[in-house]
Amino acid sequence: MRRKKRLRPKWRNIIGLFLFIMLIVGGLYGFTVYNSFNKAVATMHEPLEDKPNKVKQTEALKKKEPFSVLMLGVDEREGDKGRSDTMIVLTVNPNNNSVKMLSIPRDTRTEIVGKGKEDKINHAYAFGGVSMAVDTVEKFLDFPIDYYVKINMEGFKDIVDTVGGINVDNDFAFTMEGVDFPTGQIHLNGDEALTFIRMRYDDPNGDFGRQERQRQVIQAVIKEGASLSSLSKAPDIFHAIGSNVKTNLTFEEMISIQKNYKEAGRNIEQLVLHSEGKMINNIYYGLVTIAEQQRVQDELKSQLEMNMETDF
Protein backbone atom coordinates (compact mmCIF):
# COMPACT_ATOMS: atom_id res chain seq x y z
CA MET A 1 0.00 0.00 0.00
CA ARG A 2 1.37 3.40 -0.94
CA ARG A 3 1.66 6.07 1.66
CA LYS A 4 -0.77 8.94 1.33
CA LYS A 5 0.70 11.97 -0.34
CA ARG A 6 0.39 15.39 1.16
CA LEU A 7 -0.25 18.15 -1.28
CA ARG A 8 2.63 20.43 -2.09
CA PRO A 9 2.44 23.89 -0.51
CA LYS A 10 0.84 25.40 -3.59
CA TRP A 11 -2.25 23.23 -3.04
CA ARG A 12 -2.68 23.66 0.68
CA ASN A 13 -5.14 26.55 0.55
CA ILE A 14 -7.49 24.93 -1.95
CA ILE A 15 -10.61 22.96 -1.11
CA GLY A 16 -12.39 23.63 -4.38
CA LEU A 17 -13.78 26.33 -6.59
CA PHE A 18 -16.59 27.12 -4.14
CA LEU A 19 -13.95 28.41 -1.68
CA PHE A 20 -12.62 30.64 -4.46
CA ILE A 21 -15.95 32.44 -4.41
CA MET A 22 -16.03 32.68 -0.65
CA LEU A 23 -12.45 33.86 -0.26
CA ILE A 24 -13.03 36.62 -2.79
CA VAL A 25 -16.23 37.83 -1.18
CA GLY A 26 -14.49 37.84 2.19
CA GLY A 27 -11.92 40.33 0.94
CA LEU A 28 -14.01 42.60 -1.26
CA TYR A 29 -16.10 45.55 -0.15
CA GLY A 30 -18.66 47.87 -1.71
CA PHE A 31 -22.25 47.59 -2.76
CA THR A 32 -21.49 46.94 -6.43
CA VAL A 33 -19.28 43.96 -5.70
CA TYR A 34 -21.60 42.62 -3.01
CA ASN A 35 -24.60 42.95 -5.33
CA SER A 36 -22.73 41.21 -8.15
CA PHE A 37 -21.83 38.35 -5.83
CA ASN A 38 -25.45 37.97 -4.72
CA LYS A 39 -26.59 37.79 -8.33
CA ALA A 40 -23.92 35.20 -9.12
CA VAL A 41 -24.95 33.05 -6.16
CA ALA A 42 -28.59 33.24 -7.22
CA THR A 43 -27.61 32.12 -10.74
CA MET A 44 -25.37 29.35 -9.43
CA HIS A 45 -27.81 27.93 -6.93
CA GLU A 46 -29.47 24.69 -8.05
CA PRO A 47 -30.80 22.58 -5.16
CA LEU A 48 -31.19 18.82 -5.40
CA GLU A 49 -34.84 17.88 -4.97
CA ASP A 50 -33.98 14.49 -3.47
CA LYS A 51 -31.91 16.11 -0.69
CA PRO A 52 -34.61 17.32 1.73
CA ASN A 53 -32.46 18.06 4.80
CA LYS A 54 -31.32 21.50 3.68
CA VAL A 55 -32.20 23.28 6.93
CA LYS A 56 -30.33 20.62 8.90
CA GLN A 57 -27.24 21.05 6.70
CA THR A 58 -27.28 24.83 7.10
CA GLU A 59 -27.48 24.52 10.88
CA ALA A 60 -24.70 21.90 10.85
CA LEU A 61 -22.35 24.40 9.20
CA LYS A 62 -23.16 26.99 11.85
CA LYS A 63 -22.30 24.39 14.49
CA LYS A 64 -18.98 23.66 12.74
CA GLU A 65 -19.77 20.03 11.99
CA PRO A 66 -17.81 18.05 9.35
CA PHE A 67 -19.28 18.01 5.85
CA SER A 68 -18.66 16.53 2.40
CA VAL A 69 -18.63 18.01 -1.09
CA LEU A 70 -18.63 16.41 -4.54
CA MET A 71 -16.93 18.49 -7.20
CA LEU A 72 -17.88 17.64 -10.78
CA GLY A 73 -15.85 18.93 -13.70
CA VAL A 74 -18.28 18.43 -16.58
CA ASP A 75 -17.16 18.60 -20.18
CA GLU A 76 -20.36 20.01 -21.66
CA ARG A 77 -20.38 21.02 -25.29
CA GLU A 78 -23.12 22.30 -27.57
CA GLY A 79 -25.60 19.51 -28.24
CA ASP A 80 -23.88 17.17 -25.75
CA LYS A 81 -24.81 16.90 -22.07
CA GLY A 82 -21.32 15.58 -21.39
CA ARG A 83 -19.83 13.41 -18.67
CA SER A 84 -18.27 14.26 -15.34
CA ASP A 85 -14.65 13.87 -16.40
CA THR A 86 -13.49 15.07 -12.99
CA MET A 87 -14.99 13.76 -9.75
CA ILE A 88 -13.39 15.00 -6.52
CA VAL A 89 -14.79 14.29 -3.06
CA LEU A 90 -13.82 16.67 -0.27
CA THR A 91 -14.38 15.84 3.41
CA VAL A 92 -13.90 18.88 5.63
CA ASN A 93 -13.40 18.62 9.38
CA PRO A 94 -13.02 21.83 11.43
CA ASN A 95 -12.31 19.86 14.62
CA ASN A 96 -8.96 18.62 13.34
CA ASN A 97 -8.64 21.51 10.87
CA SER A 98 -8.10 19.32 7.84
CA VAL A 99 -9.52 18.41 4.46
CA LYS A 100 -9.19 15.01 2.83
CA MET A 101 -9.58 15.02 -0.93
CA LEU A 102 -10.22 11.99 -3.08
CA SER A 103 -10.13 12.06 -6.88
CA ILE A 104 -12.23 9.23 -8.30
CA PRO A 105 -10.85 8.13 -11.69
CA ARG A 106 -13.48 8.51 -14.42
CA ASP A 107 -13.10 4.90 -15.61
CA THR A 108 -13.86 3.39 -12.17
CA ARG A 109 -16.37 0.55 -12.60
CA THR A 110 -19.23 0.63 -10.11
CA GLU A 111 -22.99 0.36 -9.77
CA ILE A 112 -24.81 3.29 -11.36
CA VAL A 113 -27.63 4.03 -8.93
CA GLY A 114 -30.92 4.31 -10.78
CA LYS A 115 -29.74 2.36 -13.85
CA GLY A 116 -29.43 -1.08 -12.23
CA LYS A 117 -26.11 -1.88 -13.87
CA GLU A 118 -22.37 -1.42 -13.49
CA ASP A 119 -20.59 1.09 -15.68
CA LYS A 120 -17.91 3.78 -15.58
CA ILE A 121 -18.65 6.08 -12.68
CA ASN A 122 -18.49 9.20 -14.84
CA HIS A 123 -21.39 7.88 -16.93
CA ALA A 124 -23.75 8.49 -14.00
CA TYR A 125 -23.88 12.19 -14.83
CA ALA A 126 -24.59 11.47 -18.50
CA PHE A 127 -27.45 9.13 -17.53
CA GLY A 128 -29.09 11.19 -14.80
CA GLY A 129 -27.34 14.49 -14.20
CA VAL A 130 -26.04 15.71 -10.85
CA SER A 131 -28.57 13.73 -8.80
CA MET A 132 -27.53 10.38 -10.26
CA ALA A 133 -23.85 11.29 -9.99
CA VAL A 134 -24.30 12.17 -6.29
CA ASP A 135 -26.33 9.02 -5.60
CA THR A 136 -23.72 6.85 -7.32
CA VAL A 137 -20.80 8.38 -5.42
CA GLU A 138 -22.73 8.01 -2.16
CA LYS A 139 -23.25 4.33 -2.92
CA PHE A 140 -19.60 3.84 -3.87
CA LEU A 141 -18.25 5.54 -0.74
CA ASP A 142 -21.06 4.55 1.64
CA PHE A 143 -21.65 7.99 3.15
CA PRO A 144 -23.84 10.99 2.26
CA ILE A 145 -22.70 13.85 0.06
CA ASP A 146 -23.86 17.12 1.63
CA TYR A 147 -23.04 19.50 -1.22
CA TYR A 148 -22.04 19.48 -4.85
CA VAL A 149 -20.23 21.99 -7.05
CA LYS A 150 -20.50 21.47 -10.81
CA ILE A 151 -18.05 23.29 -13.08
CA ASN A 152 -18.68 23.50 -16.80
CA MET A 153 -15.18 22.99 -18.16
CA GLU A 154 -16.17 24.22 -21.64
CA GLY A 155 -17.33 27.52 -20.17
CA PHE A 156 -14.43 27.60 -17.74
CA LYS A 157 -12.40 29.33 -20.44
CA ASP A 158 -14.61 32.41 -19.96
CA ILE A 159 -13.54 32.59 -16.32
CA VAL A 160 -9.86 32.28 -17.32
CA ASP A 161 -10.20 35.08 -19.88
CA THR A 162 -12.06 37.28 -17.40
CA VAL A 163 -9.18 37.19 -14.91
CA GLY A 164 -6.72 38.00 -17.72
CA GLY A 165 -5.29 34.54 -18.28
CA ILE A 166 -3.33 32.33 -15.92
CA ASN A 167 0.18 31.03 -15.29
CA VAL A 168 0.80 27.31 -14.77
CA ASP A 169 3.84 25.07 -14.41
CA ASN A 170 3.96 22.40 -17.11
CA ASP A 171 5.88 19.22 -16.22
CA PHE A 172 6.47 17.99 -19.77
CA ALA A 173 6.18 19.37 -23.28
CA PHE A 174 3.31 18.32 -25.52
CA THR A 175 1.28 19.54 -28.48
CA MET A 176 -2.50 19.29 -28.71
CA GLU A 177 -4.96 20.76 -31.19
CA GLY A 178 -2.15 22.70 -32.82
CA VAL A 179 -1.05 24.37 -29.58
CA ASP A 180 2.46 23.81 -28.18
CA PHE A 181 2.84 23.56 -24.40
CA PRO A 182 6.56 23.74 -23.48
CA THR A 183 7.93 22.74 -20.10
CA GLY A 184 8.19 25.30 -17.32
CA GLN A 185 5.92 28.21 -16.49
CA ILE A 186 3.54 29.14 -19.29
CA HIS A 187 0.77 31.72 -19.66
CA LEU A 188 -2.58 30.47 -20.94
CA ASN A 189 -5.68 32.18 -22.22
CA GLY A 190 -9.10 30.55 -21.88
CA ASP A 191 -8.95 28.35 -24.98
CA GLU A 192 -5.39 27.25 -24.20
CA ALA A 193 -6.29 26.45 -20.59
CA LEU A 194 -9.17 24.26 -21.76
CA THR A 195 -6.88 22.38 -24.16
CA PHE A 196 -4.26 22.07 -21.40
CA ILE A 197 -6.65 20.29 -19.03
CA ARG A 198 -8.23 18.05 -21.67
CA MET A 199 -5.00 16.31 -22.71
CA ARG A 200 -4.87 12.79 -21.30
CA TYR A 201 -3.63 10.13 -23.70
CA ASP A 202 -0.07 11.46 -24.06
CA ASP A 203 0.32 11.91 -20.31
CA PRO A 204 2.45 9.18 -18.68
CA ASN A 205 0.20 9.49 -15.61
CA GLY A 206 -2.98 9.07 -17.65
CA ASP A 207 -6.16 10.30 -16.03
CA PHE A 208 -4.32 11.22 -12.81
CA GLY A 209 -2.13 13.61 -14.78
CA ARG A 210 -5.21 15.20 -16.29
CA GLN A 211 -6.76 15.67 -12.87
CA GLU A 212 -3.54 17.28 -11.66
CA ARG A 213 -3.64 19.80 -14.53
CA GLN A 214 -7.29 20.56 -13.83
CA ARG A 215 -6.50 21.32 -10.21
CA GLN A 216 -3.55 23.47 -11.24
CA VAL A 217 -5.73 25.54 -13.57
CA ILE A 218 -8.34 26.02 -10.83
CA GLN A 219 -5.59 27.08 -8.41
CA ALA A 220 -4.25 29.59 -10.93
CA VAL A 221 -7.72 31.06 -11.44
CA ILE A 222 -8.06 31.43 -7.66
CA LYS A 223 -4.73 33.23 -7.48
CA GLU A 224 -5.55 35.64 -10.28
CA GLY A 225 -9.14 36.21 -9.16
CA ALA A 226 -8.10 37.01 -5.60
CA SER A 227 -5.29 39.38 -6.59
CA LEU A 228 -5.60 43.11 -6.05
CA SER A 229 -5.30 43.72 -9.80
CA SER A 230 -8.54 41.77 -10.29
CA LEU A 231 -10.67 43.80 -7.85
CA SER A 232 -11.97 46.04 -10.63
CA LYS A 233 -12.97 42.92 -12.59
CA ALA A 234 -14.99 41.45 -9.71
CA PRO A 235 -18.45 41.94 -11.29
CA ASP A 236 -17.27 40.33 -14.54
CA ILE A 237 -15.61 37.48 -12.64
CA PHE A 238 -18.78 36.81 -10.65
CA HIS A 239 -20.82 36.87 -13.86
CA ALA A 240 -18.51 34.34 -15.50
CA ILE A 241 -18.63 32.11 -12.42
CA GLY A 242 -22.40 32.35 -12.20
CA SER A 243 -22.69 31.25 -15.82
CA ASN A 244 -20.39 28.23 -15.49
CA VAL A 245 -20.74 26.95 -11.92
CA LYS A 246 -23.78 25.32 -10.29
CA THR A 247 -24.09 24.31 -6.64
CA ASN A 248 -26.66 23.57 -3.95
CA LEU A 249 -24.73 25.77 -1.53
CA THR A 250 -26.68 28.86 -0.51
CA PHE A 251 -25.25 32.29 0.15
CA GLU A 252 -25.68 31.77 3.90
CA GLU A 253 -23.83 28.44 3.76
CA MET A 254 -20.96 29.92 1.77
CA ILE A 255 -20.53 32.61 4.41
CA SER A 256 -20.60 29.99 7.20
CA ILE A 257 -17.88 27.96 5.47
CA GLN A 258 -15.74 31.03 4.92
CA LYS A 259 -16.14 31.98 8.58
CA ASN A 260 -15.94 28.60 10.32
CA TYR A 261 -13.78 26.35 8.13
CA LYS A 262 -11.00 28.60 6.87
CA GLU A 263 -8.30 26.93 8.96
CA ALA A 264 -9.16 23.50 7.56
CA GLY A 265 -8.09 24.63 4.10
CA ARG A 266 -4.50 24.94 5.28
CA ASN A 267 -4.13 21.20 5.81
CA ILE A 268 -5.27 19.30 2.73
CA GLU A 269 -4.42 15.65 2.25
CA GLN A 270 -4.92 13.98 -1.10
CA LEU A 271 -5.98 10.33 -1.02
CA VAL A 272 -5.33 7.93 -3.89
CA LEU A 273 -7.85 5.32 -4.99
CA HIS A 274 -5.95 2.38 -6.44
CA SER A 275 -7.47 0.41 -9.29
CA GLU A 276 -6.47 -2.14 -11.91
CA GLY A 277 -7.19 -1.51 -15.58
CA LYS A 278 -9.07 -4.25 -17.41
CA MET A 279 -10.87 -4.64 -20.72
CA ILE A 280 -14.46 -5.93 -20.39
CA ASN A 281 -16.43 -6.40 -23.63
CA ASN A 282 -13.80 -4.27 -25.39
CA ILE A 283 -14.30 -1.39 -22.94
CA TYR A 284 -11.59 -0.22 -20.54
CA TYR A 285 -12.50 -0.05 -16.84
CA GLY A 286 -10.68 0.64 -13.60
CA LEU A 287 -11.49 -2.15 -11.15
CA VAL A 288 -11.31 -1.34 -7.43
CA THR A 289 -11.02 -4.24 -5.00
CA ILE A 290 -13.44 -4.52 -2.09
CA ALA A 291 -10.55 -4.11 0.33
CA GLU A 292 -9.37 -0.91 -1.38
CA GLN A 293 -12.89 0.48 -1.48
CA GLN A 294 -13.30 -0.28 2.22
CA ARG A 295 -9.97 1.37 3.06
CA VAL A 296 -11.01 4.63 1.40
CA GLN A 297 -14.50 4.51 2.90
CA ASP A 298 -13.11 4.04 6.40
CA GLU A 299 -10.67 6.90 6.09
CA LEU A 300 -13.24 9.37 4.79
CA LYS A 301 -15.88 8.26 7.31
CA SER A 302 -13.38 8.80 10.09
CA GLN A 303 -12.74 12.29 8.74
CA LEU A 304 -16.49 12.95 8.84
CA GLU A 305 -16.66 11.50 12.37
CA MET A 306 -19.18 8.90 11.28
CA ASN A 307 -19.89 5.57 12.95
CA MET A 308 -18.28 3.25 10.41
CA GLU A 309 -20.54 0.37 11.42
CA THR A 310 -23.69 2.28 10.48
CA ASP A 311 -24.88 2.85 6.92
CA PHE A 312 -26.13 6.34 6.20
Measuring CA to CA, how many Å separate 117 from each of 125, 136, 312? 14, 11, 22
- The residue that leads in pLDDT, 33 or 167, is 167
- The residue that leads in pLDDT, 8 or 276, is 276
- Under 8 Å between Cβ of 82 and 74: yes
- Under 8 Å between Cβ of 140 and 121: yes
Give me the chain's average pLDDT, please.
Answer: 80
Question: Across residues 276-282, what is the average pLDDT?
Answer: 93
**How many Å apart are CA 98 and CA 110, to the nearest integer?**
28
- Under 8 Å between Cβ of 131 and 50: yes
Note the pTM of the prediction, 2 decimals.
0.77
Percent of the chain with pLDDT over 70: 76
Say which range, 89-103, 224-238, 265-279, 298-312, has the weakest mean pLDDT. 224-238
- Under 8 Å between Cβ of 103 and 270: yes
Q: Collapse the DSSP code of 59 into the 3-class scheme (helix H, G, I; strand E, B; otherwise coil) and give the result.
A: helix
What does the buried/exposed string (b/e) look like for 208-239 if buried means 16 or more CB atoms within 10 Å of the residue's CB?
Answer: ebbbbbbbbbbbbbbbbbbeeebbebbbbbbb
Domains located in the chain, CATH noted: 5-303 (3.40.630.190)
> Would you tell me how many other CB atoms lie within 10 Å of the CB of residue 1?
8
